[in-house]
Amino acid sequence: MQLINLETNFLGRNFIFYNKIDSTQNEIWRLIEKNNIQNGTLVMADIQTKGKGTHGRIWHTEEKNNIAFSFYIKTDCTAEKLEGLTLEIAKVIVDIFKEKYSIELNIKKPNDITYNNKKIGGILTESKINSEKVKCLVIGIGINTEKMNFEEDIKDIATSIKKEFGIEVDRINVISNFCNKFEEIIKRRILE
């Protein structure tokens, strides 16, 4: 599997796909620890056994064909330059679904994508800080595109694109589109 129609210089150019992994977020951190990662590396998985959500929660990805990926951005900037970045990511995702599928998703600040007050997706932004400079960002994105069966603890507060709209999502196309749009934001915010 690979990303298609990439117009990026770095984001998504190094693409790693797993059929099954503990967490795409954990895998990026492992690569950082080994000092074996390129700027813009994107790790995607079909199934995550221990997907990470915010506040230490689990992000359930035990069915195939949902969107689950994390990526690494090398930075050397102040935290102020990154304020509101998670919200900007959410806006990019909402825009892609509007453009590609004519569906209106909502953002529950700061990091949830929702529909009818139910969570469809989430964004996890983590960073490494050294001497008051942000040295890197590890950003995870999970979107329930296909998921039909929800665990007891989340069945009343979570949903999916397929459940709400009955449509199939081309996840590779969505991720490639995201990379194209988000790299421009990164260049503007961090690299200028």
Strand order of the β-sheet with 112-115 is 15-21, 42-48, 67-77, 133-143, 118-130, 112-115, 106-108
φ/ψ of residue 130, rounded to 5: -140, 125
Q: For the whole model, what pTM was predicted?
A: 0.92
Write down the domain spans for the chain: 15-191
> How far is C-alpha 48 from the geometric centre of its chain's CA atoms?
13
Residues of the chain falling short of pLDDT 50: none
Question: Residue holding tokens 């506040």?
Answer: 55
pLDDT of residue 48: 81
Class of domain 15-191: alpha beta
In the predicted model, what is the mean pLDDT of the chain? Answer: 90
Cα separation, 139 vs 126, whole angstroms: 6
Contact 60, 154 (CB under 8 A): yes
Q: Nearest to residue 153, comparing CAs of 25, 42, 60? A: 60
pLDDT tens-digit readout, 134-186? 999 999 999 999 888 877 777 788 899 999 999 999 999 999 999 999 999 99
pLDDT (0 to 100) of residue 116: 93
